[in-house]
Amino acid sequence: MTRWSALFTVFVMSQVLVMTLLCTNYYYYNAYHNEVDGRLSTFHGLHYEIEYMKGTVRSGVGADGKRWEQEMFYDYGHFTDVEGNDGEPLDFFMDSENRSSGIFRVTQLDVLTGEFDEHKIMIGFDNIRDATEAYLIHYPDNWKGFGGIEQIDVEQIK
């Protein structure tokens, strides 16, 4: 092996080592901060992820094709290990400042057909009235997607 090829090999190996360290540190940095800021956690053994923290803005496109934005008054996320009726992870709203053990299930309707769309879980609310208000505050005044609410226990989520 020539002197230049040996130097080149050392250079390449050092770059591989640097990239490995950078990627590893990035992973552990993100995992640490996700745990610290509460975005990834568990609720009665169910893993969940917060997608929108209280105070952030959630946006999308409605069934009518119009773009919408909504300030989040409560944390919003999904259970990573529970599938909802729509085939996607089960969504929830959470009052992270309240330690109530109340769990409620909202039946959400398709606003165009009035048919069942999916469930939304409400966590940390004291009663049905508070959970209903917390759900509805995130939707327009004339929201046709609210199909009712009921109190449930954690086993009914699983």
Query: What are the pLDDT digits (tens) for 30-41?
Result: 443 344 345 668
Following CA atoms 83, 57, 42, 101 in sequence, which dihedral angle do they give, to the nearest 10 degrees?
A: -100
| Region 83-95 average pLDDT | 93
pLDDT computed for residue 31 by the predictor: 41
Of 79, 89, 77, which is closest to residue 118 (Cα–Cα)? 89
Overall pTM surpassing 0.85 (yes/no) = no
End-to-end CA distance of the chain: 62
pLDDT computed for residue 41 by the predictor: 82
pLDDT computed for residue 16 by the predictor: 54
Average pLDDT, the chain: 82
| Region 147-152 average pLDDT | 97
The residues spanned by each domain of the chain are 1-36, 40-156
| Region 125-139 average pLDDT | 96
Q: 52 versus 14: which is more confidently predicted? A: 52
According to the 3-state scheme, what is the secondary structure of the chain?
A: CCHHHHHHHHHHHHHHHHHHHHHHHHHHHHHHHHHHCCCEEEECCEEEEEEECCCCEEEEECCCCCEEEEECCCEEEEEEEEECCCCCEEEEEECCCCCCCCEEEEEEECCCCCCEEEEEEEECCCCHHHHHHHHHCCCCCCCCCEEEEEECCHHHCC
87-101, 103-117, 120-134: least confidently modelled range? 87-101
| Region 96-111 average pLDDT | 91
